[in-house]
Chain A
Amino acid sequence: MRNDTVNGSRGSLTHPDIKTMAEVNVDVLRPLSRPGKGWWMLLGLCVLGIGLMLWSWGIQMRYGIGVSGLTSPVGWGVYITTFVFWVGIAHSGTLISAVLFLFRAPWRQSIYRVAEAMTVFAVMTAGLFPLIHVGRVWHAYWLIPYPNSRFLWPNFRSPLVWDVFAVTTYFTVSAIFFYLGTIPDLAAARDAAKGFRKKLYSVICLGWRGTDREWHHLSKAYIFLAALATPLVLSVHSVVSWDFAVGIVPGWHATIFAPYFVAGAIFSGVAMVITLSVLVRKAFGLEAYLTIKHYDAMAKLCLVTSMIVLYAYLSEFFMAWYSGEEVERAAFWARLFGGYWWATWVMLVCNGFVPIMLWFKRVRHSIAALFTISIFVNIGMWFERYVIIVTSLHHEYEPFAWGMYRPSAVEMGIMVGSFGWFGFWFLLFTRLLPPVAIAELKEILPKPMRPVVSNPVPSADQSGDMSNG
């Protein structure tokens, strides 16, 4: 047994600045208080964004899908682009919480709560877009698999039906995962809170007390959920990619689409985790919890996935040339030099070339540089989906059916507003739920052992410094 004591100077390897377990509660629960002016201003901005989205959507409901730029040949535009973008963002949360959990990555503990919250809210945002895209949203329940009035069931061979199952399952499982991991921390919040917040946390922590029985079953359930969620992460974006790859559109019909999309999703998701966690870290003073080591690890994950994505881009161009298919060649030529050349180059620069800087340790160890790169990646990954969807559709087989698509103001309003919707939930999260996994962090801290002294310390001395109110 180690001789580290609760008051000793040695922290864990990943968190050298955390001295005691009780300190974790104080630091992590501090944000769960009355928010300041800055928070309210941000929330106001997000509410404005939601307003913009609802206003634009209202116009579309009133006048029909014609107010968008969607028409033949480009029937999928900004809505589907933004849907795929948000589903992709949602991927790193469960990756960090489930996959890295199974692989016992030592740096996941302090980052995964933010990543999971982001996942749940990103799926909530993504889920809006199929409803917006179908136009007559009051018929959205047709997405539910049930027989129509002539007892004909949906076509389960259709990737769009698979997508309904995949995204619904993903939302449910990631929400369960998020909530179960939070229960012990909600109990910690309950024990520290007063008044209304105490009542609130008492209810949502389900009366958690941290008994051996509760922990025993929770930690086992957590392993099984992680084991179920790990293939789920890979399956969901594969299914999203098949929405495209199963169609015989040049630029879509490729076997690499599933791994290409999954890598892209993890890439964009980790970038968004960096963006958000840098802000949370700064706002709540969590520097001891989200250390440079954590950012270094995430930057490496970004770098690897960026290389996979760049490889996929290049191999697509190569295959188009090598296949000798005239239509395929023309489509990829149009991608680079056609009407949407700017979108393609934004994608290549932001996703393929900017992340090359992550090879340098100095860049990986600079929070400001990482934050900037992560913003580039977020932009680049939106454009990647735009390129895949719009440029492929605008330049299919028949030259007379080629045509340009321009997103309308309504579409742009809804797209921009979706960031407000996402930000709204994320801001509520930062003030209502512990932003770092308190209990799991303690698992990797040194355990408090009785100091080895000749006469044991009387108990009265210890009760004072452990109390955290």
Chain B
Amino acid sequence: MDSGFGILASYSYLDSAVKAIEQLKKAGLKEITAYMPYPEHAVEDALGYDQSPVRVWALVGGLCGAAGGLAFTSWTSVEWPLVTGGKPILSIPAYIIIVFEMMVLFGALSTVIGLFINSRLPQVKPMVVYDPEFTGGKYGVYIKVPEASREQAMQILNAEIPDQLQEHQMGDDRG
């Protein structure tokens, strides 16, 4: 269990939060979590995000659904071949509709699973540091630092004039 500190600063202004993040990154402090009332690209850019792996989940889920739908309709038709309405046993155009619906259904379900895994939802661990105004209109910057860098992090966060600064000792939130 590391003996670092967690510091949470709440800002009223977007540029303050973005600047604090940039300064922290410049100082080599990496374990930053930002809180936002809405998805803010300026913050994501400051943190440096790549593509989300959720897109792979969407693609793979959709493809599996489509393949499954085609396999299902074809197999059940061949399993007991019964001519209805003079149509071929394998009436592919008719099955495309089922294939399409299965693609959307499994694509969507797998996107949700991918989202939950990647964003670590549902979050059952109680929140140690949080400011209820993050859902209102404030931006938060949370940083985990070892004892040695604590002063430096404090200085960077304070330079942007936070509305509030909360601090806690590490180890009590690690589940």
* Residues of A bordering B, CB below 8 Å: 1, 5-6, 20-22, 24-25, 147, 151-157, 161-162, 165-166, 168-169, 172-173, 176-177, 180, 183-184, 187-188, 190-192, 206-221, 224-225, 227-229, 231-232, 235, 239, 438-440, 442-443, 447-450, 456-459, 462-463, 466-468
Contacts and interface: CB of A to CB of B under 8 A. Distances in A.
A153 B75 CA distance: 10
B100 A208 contact: no
B73 interface: yes
Contacts of A24: 137
Contacts of B135: 25, 184, 187-188, 190-191, 210, 438-439
B30 interface: no
B37 A439 contact: yes
B121 A216 contact: no
Contacts of B37: 21, 188, 210, 438-439, 442
A209 B127 contact: yes
Contacts of B47: 212
Contacts of B161: 456-459
Contacts of B137: 6, 20-22, 24-25, 442, 448, 466
A207 B122 contact: yes
A172 B38 contact: no
B38 A443 contact: yes
A-B interface, 6 closest residue pairs, ranked by CB to CB distance from nearest: A21-B137, A207-B123, A206-B122, A153-B76, A191-B132, A220-B52
B101 A224 contact: no
Contact of B84 (A157, A169, A214, A466): A157
A216 B108 contact: no
Interface string B127-146: 10010111111100000000
B121 A214 contact: yes
Residue among A22, A162, A221 with the most chain B CB within 10 A? A221
B115 interface: yes
Nearest to A468: B136
Interface in B127-172: 127, 130, 132-138, 161-164
A165 B102 contact: yes
A235 B101 contact: yes
A62 B60 CA distance: 48
Nearest to A443: B38
A210 B136 CA distance: 11
Nearest to B164: A463
Given A218-B119, A459-B162, A6 B13 contact: yes
Contacts, number: 221
Given A180-B112, A212-B47, A231-B104, A157 B91 contact: yes
A60 B35 CA distance: 56
A213 B34 CA distance: 8
B101 A228 contact: no
Query: How big is the B interface, by class?
Result: 35 or more
Given A169-B101, A466-B138, 8 more contacts: A152-B82, A153-B80, A188-B135, A209-B130, A218-B115, A232-B104, A438-B135, A442-B37
Contacts of A22: 133, 136-137
B175 interface: no
Interface in B1-59: 12-16, 33-40, 42-44, 47, 49, 51-52, 54-55, 58
Interface of B: 12-16, 33-40, 42-44, 47, 49, 51-52, 54-55, 58, 62, 73, 76-77, 79-80, 82, 84-85, 87, 91, 94-95, 97-98, 100-102, 104-105, 107-109, 111-112, 114-115, 118-125, 127, 130, 132-138, 161-164
Given A151-B79, A209-B134, A212-B44, A218 B15 contact: no
Contacts of A440: 38
17 contacts: A6-B137, A22-B133, A151-B80, A153-B80, A157-B91, A191-B132, A208-B123, A209-B130, A210-B35, A215-B39, A217-B118, A220-B54, A224-B107, A225-B58, A447-B40, A448-B14, A449-B15
A144 to B, nearest CB: 13
B39 A219 contact: yes
Contacts of B100: 231, 235
A322 B150 CA distance: 84
A221 B42 CA distance: 19
Given A6-B13, A450-B13, A162 B121 contact: no
Contacts of B84: 155, 157
A417 B111 CA distance: 36
B173 to A, nearest CB: 13
Contacts of A217: 52, 54, 114-115, 118-119
Given A217-B119, A466-B136, A176 B39 contact: no
A441 B119 CA distance: 22
A449 B14 contact: yes
A124 B13 CA distance: 43
A232 B98 CA distance: 12
Contacts of A191: 132-136
